[in-house]
Amino acid sequence: MRTVLVTGGTGFLATRCIAQALAAGHRVRTTVRTADGPGRVRAALAAAGVSDDAVASVTYAGANLLADEGWEQAVADCDAVLHTASPFPSEVPRDPADVIGPAREGTLRVLRAARDAGVRRAVLTSSFAAVGYGHPPTERPFTEDDWTDTEGPGVHPYIASKTLAERAAWDFVEKEGGGLELAVVNPVGIFGPVLGPDFSASIGMVRRLLDGSTRAVPNLSFAVVDVRDAADLHLRAMTDDRAAGRRFIAAAGDAIAYRDIAATLRARLDGPAAAKVPTRQLSDRAVRFGARFSPALRAIEANVGVVRHVSAERARTVLGWEPRPVADTLADTGRSLAELGLV
């Protein structure tokens, strides 16, 4: 049994990490930023099927990535830290520093506190954004040996923030980490069943397909991982000695087309749930023209028609990780949104 701190407890991935850590018998503390945070965490854990006693056992610490206050108390007596919290802007910020600074400094703030408290291992939630962007098109799958070129094309501030924050983490542990071990998980787009209104930006894409907001899908491709499997990989990275000092891509398979995600939802959801899912594809020309006027289209313009192949072989072979099929994840995502009345 370990005492585990999970940062950003109300987050989509964090809640699943808490649930799985409790199921494995660990003691869990989590950080929240607002007074209603504990209630939101408890409600999400209950929705995930966690027992009342286990939900009640979770303890809370008030801490914010932008300030030092609270982190010493948050990490006290912890054996491990799962650092899942990170700023994710709803739109591309005018000043890249608004997202890059908090991501990098927040990560270092948590790692310093963990080191000073004698934490044995920290698992950082990075992203495939830190692996496969800013490079010329290639048929070779990206692996953990690759790093995003932050000066390359199509690298917007969020992608840069994940890359620079992860690089800072590795550099810190190498030079100043003392006895702190670091493992990193690099998820692709995180999908899966939602437990309430707190969910990933990837889920928003499915929501917009189901509610008709997206009337034609752009020519985008990306890989998918289920939030439950991403959480499982975090727990494996926390407990397996072979994970120390290594990165692990979390992907259930290779990149798939956005239009195939839409087709899967239409095929797998019953009744009227998928009635508004579009069948049309938005042309690349239309995206490029619309990008002149739409910040949302401008954010995806550089990725239209680009396929980034990805391999999660290391997680499978080193940690024995076995993610569920992508089609099941997408179907579970859509059903949960419909059942909770979120579309």
Known catalytic residues are: 162
Long-range contacts of 324-329 (CB under 8 A, 24+ apart): 324/226, 324/228, 324/229, 324/252, 325/252, 326/224, 326/252, 326/253, 326/256, 326/264, 327/264, 327/268, 328/226, 329/191, 329/192, 329/224, 329/225, 329/226, 329/252
The residue with tokens 């929705």 is: 47
Long-range contacts of 318-321 (CB under 8 A, 24+ apart): 318/240, 318/242, 318/243, 318/246, 318/248, 319/233, 319/236, 319/237, 319/240, 319/242, 319/243, 319/248, 320/236, 321/229, 321/232, 321/233, 321/236, 321/248, 321/250
The answer for 8, left when phi > 0, alpha when psi is -120 to 50, beta otherwise, is left
